[in-house]
Chains A and B, each alone.
Chain A
């Protein structure tokens, strides 16, 4: 890895939703190789899910709302100053100054300071019992104060006001909503929608007062809030008031620094998200783009992506964002999208209202085209928003509008046929998750690559991890794709076993089953197949550790396991001896070279720090291995769903930056887990310092040296869907490293699905890494001793599978091309390329002059 002597500093003001998204994108794009990123976090806790803030009152803890993955801020190149805010930006000297007096010279600054709730300047607004609704601290304070209250009121009947009202209701208060405008949610819905919404909310027992201006908060004798006074009508006795009368961008820093701000506030940015100073960016709710503040998380995330790209020298542009929203307010669906108020010229609205069911739908259609057809241009849905996604896609032009779009808002059975428009009709380019910029095609690809739950799709594509509004659509796409692929959605192994792998594993373990026929007879049907046979073989191997070709087991193995080598496209095999930690002696290299020459094998360095020999026929395999074993080598299990390699870097032994002996630990780990059979292959790595030359964070288990010990990471993956590993525990000593990895691996072996790598398994694990920690560190399931004992048995009984074959004439018998002849397969033919063999393609086979034949043993 390259080291950049000249590092640059980026200061991020604000660690809210958007500021944190920026950090994640920068890290993901490798910015920390060049940048030191310094974040100031004014709140006492790092970024959390403000969109989900209200769930705090339903028992979601502050920790659960956190957006920061464990260890995130431990990464090299990232610094966060908690409880300290940026006080000013000195553009002259190019320094940021903090409240606590830090001065940080910068190359670039990003303002992600969000907004603050607007509190109308009414007398008494600071009386104890008056609150705003923006931060976790606000909610904690409300909860505490509400304990002694009976009546609560919210000033403001907009989106956030209604959410706050619901919160007061859930705290057991008799709740009032006071709105200055003539209807609720004046920004999102029209008169008709507002009145339906009002009736629905009143049905829930909330009192709604519209067209009322609050003029004063009257103090009670106790000193706290006593009543609200209005311009019109009587006082309303209340004990607690929440102001939710809109938001104002936090642009003070920009004002003080002389940057351009909007007339009504907001830091003016261009489509690069740059302020009037090109070194300073603004994103999220503090930024004013095209005269607008975007008070939603999705446009903020888009800005974060643009700013990150620009900081890294890219050209991404922000061009405004769609303010379509769908919410569930107090259990009531409310959606508004496109030109909801039909303000564009030529647009016209059609309204449907059902006063009995209390449903209101308004569809805005564009001007008629030549054929008189009109496209969906916007709409408002209150009480029933089932068609929202479909209409939104039509509105965005991702899906064609039907001939009579208005039929979509009339209920089925009203005479107008509802055209069948399922998610299947959406094209791959349709935007599904606007928070994270994920289209349908990406989700389909994830499903095709094996994602079979919304959780795994979230993990891999990030769809659904922002505002959460797209989760129902993601779920529908998943089901649709699975249906198309003929996937039986129930999680059973195959037609022969009505159990998941984990269930079958438990059956085999608990009943101490030792053969496939036993488990098939007792718990399955039919003859088995290429899915359940290797799966059971792997379980038997994980549990009992006998030779995988013994007795009946031989018939269960995939060809790779059956011949202890990897089958290639022409029917020949490759041979991969183990090179623990990638360390190899000159003598072993010479032996490998001699064997390759003798058997005329193609040689290549693998991506796993070892050497692969290709082009061996079945009958050659035991002879090749005899030679390799004599030279002190052993099977590398490249053929098995088993431990592959533990990559190492040279570490402290040679490297000037190394802080621990990474090579030795890698070798120890590889020797410890060699031969361990698992649901899928397992890879590990150990790096000698945070420069991470061994790429440990891309492995199923990875260890990175620190000054104080070792950090253990789990659940990383390269391959089809790369994923960074998550930090399991930090600064461990060697023995604890082994203990945690023992437990982690055995827990994975026991509970993962067939062909499920640790990354996918961890994604699916309910509670994720937190839960994993509780199992393998805190031992909440009380199984750690068992897991360690299983691993100890594995370590004690390990033998090289190839040694066991070459030492046994009966096992050797199996390695024949033809049972009844010593001839070679005439279809296996090679051509020479760059001085080595490779399998001939069909057209080359026609020309004998091109061919070379493999050597005979």
Chain B
């Protein structure tokens, strides 16, 4: 049996409110989602939960790159997470979930699972 669930897109905020290279936190279906804008409409969304400190803070980290991967570094103990896959770049056994994002009519939206 296959259950087909339709996605619900939740509004985050207007694109121009996002500072390039910085994140914000949105509530999406009761979950805390960290949303980052790199440049233009290049947006990523991962969980706001930092598994190392167990605090909800990833949206407040610094965005950057390691080799070719885009990443955010947790502001608490500085582990980095791949923005694309959610995998921790310092410890591949740890990862955080990722979310689908899009920009619709100038509004950033995250898919509620």
Contact = CB atoms under 8 A, between A and B. Distances in A.
B75 to A, nearest CB: 4
B76 A555 contact: no
A570 B65 contact: no
Contacts of A570: 55
B17 interface: yes
A537 to B, nearest CB: 10
A562 B78 contact: no
Contact of A567 (B10, B17, B57, B63): B57
Given A567-B75, A819-B25, A820-B12, A556 B62 contact: yes
B54 interface: yes
Interface residues of A, number: 35
Contacts of A569: 53, 55, 76
B64 A528 contact: yes
A571 B56 CA distance: 6
Interface in B1-50: 10-13, 17, 19-22, 24-27, 32, 35, 38
B60 A562 contact: yes
Interface string A788-820: 000000000000000000000000010011111
Contacts of B25: 817-819
A630 interface: no
B70 interface: yes
B60 A555 contact: no
Given A567-B76, A570-B55, A825-B32, A819 B61 contact: no
A496 B64 CA distance: 10
A556 B61 CA distance: 10
B92 to A, nearest CB: 16
B97 interface: no
A117 to B, nearest CB: 60
A842 B78 CA distance: 21
Given A569-B76, A571-B55, A571-B57, A820 B62 contact: no
A495 B67 CA distance: 8
A138 B16 CA distance: 79
23 contacts: A496-B64, A526-B67, A527-B64, A528-B64, A529-B62, A529-B73, A530-B61, A530-B64, A533-B64, A555-B63, A556-B62, A558-B75, A559-B61, A562-B22, A562-B60, A567-B76, A571-B76, A818-B26, A818-B32, A819-B17, A819-B25, A820-B27, A825-B56
Nearest to B75: A559
Given A529-B71, A552-B20, A562-B22, 19 more contacts: A527-B38, A527-B70, A529-B65, A529-B80, A530-B73, A554-B19, A555-B20, A558-B62, A559-B75, A562-B60, A567-B60, A567-B76, A569-B55, A816-B24, A820-B10, A820-B11, A820-B26, A820-B27, A842-B54
B65 A827 contact: no
B53 A552 contact: no
Count chain B CB atoms within 10 A of each CB in A563, A819, A823 and give the residue with the most.
Answer: A819
Q: How big is chain B's contact interface, by range? A: 35 or more
Interface of B: 10-13, 17, 19-22, 24-27, 32, 35, 38, 53-57, 60-67, 70-71, 73, 75-76, 78, 80
A842 B75 CA distance: 20
Interface in A590-649: none
A140 B73 CA distance: 61
Give the secondary structure class of A's interface. Answer: loop
B53 A821 contact: no
Contacts of B56: 571, 825, 827
A532 B65 CA distance: 11
B95 to A, nearest CB: 19
A819 B62 contact: no
A534 interface: yes
A827 B55 contact: yes
Contacts of B20: 552, 555
A84 to B, nearest CB: 58
Enumerate the 5 nearest inter-chain pairs by beta-carbon distance, A residue then B residue, closest first. A529-B64, A555-B21, A559-B75, A527-B65, A530-B73
A819 B12 contact: yes
Most buried by A among B12, B20, B35, B75: B75
A821 B57 CA distance: 16
Nearest to A818: B27
Interface string A529-541: 1101110000000
Contact of A552 (B12, B21, B67, B75): B21
A532 B21 CA distance: 13
A99 to B, nearest CB: 63
A562 B24 CA distance: 12
Contacts of B24: 816, 819
A492 B88 CA distance: 24
A570 B76 CA distance: 9
Contact of A555 (B19, B26, B55): B19
B61 to A, nearest CB: 7
Contacts of A560: 75
B13 A819 contact: yes
Contacts of B22: 554-555, 562
Contacts of A556: 21, 62
Contacts of A557: 62
B19, B26, B71 — most chain A CB neighbours (10 Å): B19
A854 to B, nearest CB: 15
A816 B10 CA distance: 18
Contacts of A527: 38, 63-65, 70
A645 B73 CA distance: 29
Contacts of B63: 527, 555
Nearest to B77: A569
A528 B66 CA distance: 8
Nearest to B35: A819
A214 B52 CA distance: 78
Contacts of B75: 558-560, 567
Nearest to B72: A530
A842 B32 CA distance: 18
A530 B73 CA distance: 7
B65 A563 contact: no
B65 to A, nearest CB: 4
A526 B13 contact: no
A495 B73 CA distance: 15
Interface in A544-582: 552, 554-560, 562-563, 567, 569-571
Contacts of B65: 496, 526-529
A622 to B, nearest CB: 16
Nearest to A527: B65
A823 B25 CA distance: 12
Contacts of A827: 55-56
A560 B61 CA distance: 10
Give the one of B11, B64, B65 with max A CB within 10 A.
Answer: B64
Nearest to A845: B54
B15 to A, nearest CB: 12
A364 B65 CA distance: 57
A582 B70 CA distance: 44
Nearest to B53: A569
B103 to A, nearest CB: 14
Contacts of A559: 57, 60-62, 75
Given A571-B55, A820-B26, A823-B27, A495 B62 contact: no
Nearest to A525: B65
A821 B48 CA distance: 15
Contacts of A823: 27
Contacts of B80: 529-530
A529 B66 contact: yes
Interface in A813-857: 813, 816-821, 823, 825, 827, 842
A173 to B, nearest CB: 62
A818 B24 CA distance: 7
Contacts of A552: 20-21
B22 to A, nearest CB: 4
B36 to A, nearest CB: 10
B69 to A, nearest CB: 10
Given A552-B20, A827-B55, A821 B64 contact: no
